Amino acid sequence: MKITKLLCAALMVLTCCVASAQTNMKKTHMPMKQNMKMDMMSKTMMMGLTSGEKKIAMSHMAHMTPAEKSVMMKQCQMCMKDKHAGMMDKKMTKQMEMDHMMSGLSMAEQKTMNGMWAKMSAQEKMVGKKMMMNCCKYGMKHGM
């Protein structure tokens, strides 16, 4: 009798574990395409950075708010889709870079982006600029 109860209990636990695992698998497959895109964007942004610059970038990203991460990813994704036709063979000024970086963002997103840049150190700004230039330079090659 006790063995039967133990077997029933074990069967119930096993059934619950399998059902729970299947439910969790369904949830993890939903954002898979988005995670792959974000991973590809991160790799593109990190291209050509030294190990020290990568540490600076990762440290900065770890301290970003969700809104700042969202705006940065949106800007990079838009930049990767842009053909940059008007920028080819031109010497870029700071104003041209700023206009390009802010194009396509709403006023609230621009404010978030400006706030993020304002609180960055000089090293973080240098690395951030390299990362944004990588989006422009290499983005179209990755077919985002």
Kindly state the average pLDDT of the residues 2-23: 52
To the question of pTM greater than 0.75 for the whole model, the response is no
Residue 111 tokens, joined: 């404010």
Q: Which residue has the tokens 């621009």?
A: 110
Nearest partner of 65 among 13, 2, 109, judged by Cα? 109
In angstroms, the CA 121 to CA 63 distance is 13
In angstroms, the CA 110 to CA 57 distance is 20
pLDDT band at 142 (very low <50, low <70, confident <90, very high): very low
Residue 134 has pLDDT above 50, yes or no: yes
- Under 8 Å between Cβ of 138 and 47: yes
pLDDT at 8: 47
Kindly state the average pLDDT of the residues 113-123: 89
pLDDT at 39: 66
- Under 8 Å between Cβ of 46 and 57: yes
